[in-house]
Amino acid sequence: MQKIWKRPRVLVLIVIAAVIFLTFQFFSLEALFHTQNKAVQVSHLNNEDRVLENVIENFNDEDSVPIELEKSNNIKVDKPIGVHDDDAHLYKAVHVKKKEMFRCLETKKLIPFSWLNDNYCDCEDSSDEPGTAACPRGRFYCTSQLPNQKAVSLPSSRVNDGICDCCDGSDEWSGEAPPQWMRHKGKNLIQQAPCQNHCNAIAQLSKENEQIRKMGQRLKKVYLQAAQTIRDKERYGPNGVFYKLSQKCFLYKSSPYEYNICPFHSVKQEHFPSERWFLGRKAVWKQKSHGQFLLQMLEGDAANCPIGKSRQSMILFLCGINDRVVDLREDEKCEYIIKFATPAAC
């Protein structure tokens, strides 16, 4: 009776082991098929496609037949995402034996046109993935570009990373928000997916800034004339252009303090009825060329500051149509940043 019971149990164990083995083999083949999908496509080409492979290996420009990209009514050229308009002609398909192909930009290798932006790097020069993060040396060009400015591009690794780098948000075309633990909290200038298109607002702001710059350049002549009779012009910037500012002080209020900024002389902080602190008494240029004007005000009061450190201010001169303090903040303990608009900086 015991032998009769054991035999079916052995058969059941053998059947279970066989099922497990076959299941394992099935999933192994499935994974192999998935990872080598493109290799399988090529290896199972028919006779006509094998001839095509030989043609591809010996292909040159004279054999190609360009396929014109479609243009809409507003003369906007259709192109793969991530490609600049000036490079759109490089992403035209070519006909080889009735097959649409793409030629890698540097290596000249030919691949099926459908492999463009398929999230798999086929070209050694990374040119087939302008709109994904698949290739290590890829560059992504924002779809919308601001007029009269250098084209904005970014490493392809920043495509669909959850951060809006392009003003139109085209680098986050998937629209997927970053995971909760990666999101920036609080008030900051970092825009996160899903992105919005801010290009028009930025272009308008840029246009307004250009108008301010042109007006400021006309007003700047008054500042240069004021410095014509002084001897030490270099102390006040190129051709003494900031000398006029040294002749007066500017009041700035930021509750609970009042600040008195006298460029090239002193910066003071007051909080009535408490004491008055000097935030700088000695002027030293940190930068005064290439349109960047940064004046340090050193040797302020040291009370309540870290040991060995005295208060100091940094005045950043910006282009504006009148003289005024735009912003003042304590960037670090006993270190102050002052943004000052003036036609002298235009």
Local structure of 130: helix, strand or coil: coil
pTM for the whole structure: 0.55
- Using DSSP's 3-state secondary structure scheme, residue 88 falls into helix
- 298 vs 43: which has the higher pLDDT: 298
Identify which has the larger pLDDT, 113 or 146: 113
Core vs surface per residue 222-247: b (16+ CB within 10 A) or e: ebbebbeeeeebeebbeebbbbbbbe
Confidence (pLDDT) at 19: 56
Out of 20-24, 173-177, 200-204, 310-314, which region has the weakest mean confidence (pLDDT)?
20-24
Confidence grade of residue 189 (pLDDT, cut at 50, 70, 90)? low
More confident residue, 111 or 183: 111
Q: Model confidence at 68, in pLDDT bands (50, 70, 90)? A: very low
Coil/strand/helix, residue 259:
strand
Residue 310, φ and ψ in degrees, nearest 5: -115, 160
- Give the distance, in angstroms, between the CA of residue 287 and the centroid of all CA atoms in the same chain: 26
- Mean pLDDT, the chain, integer: 81
Task: Using the predicted structure, report yes or no on whether residue 45 has a pLDDT greater than 50.
Answer: no
pLDDT in tens, 220-266: 999 999 999 998 899 999 999 999 999 999 999 988 899 999 999 99
Asked whether the predicted pLDDT for residue 191 surpasses 60, the reply is yes
Rounded mean pLDDT of 92-117? 94
Q: Which residues contact 52 (CB under 8 A, 6 or more apart)?
A: 45, 96, 97, 99
Report pLDDT for 23: 55
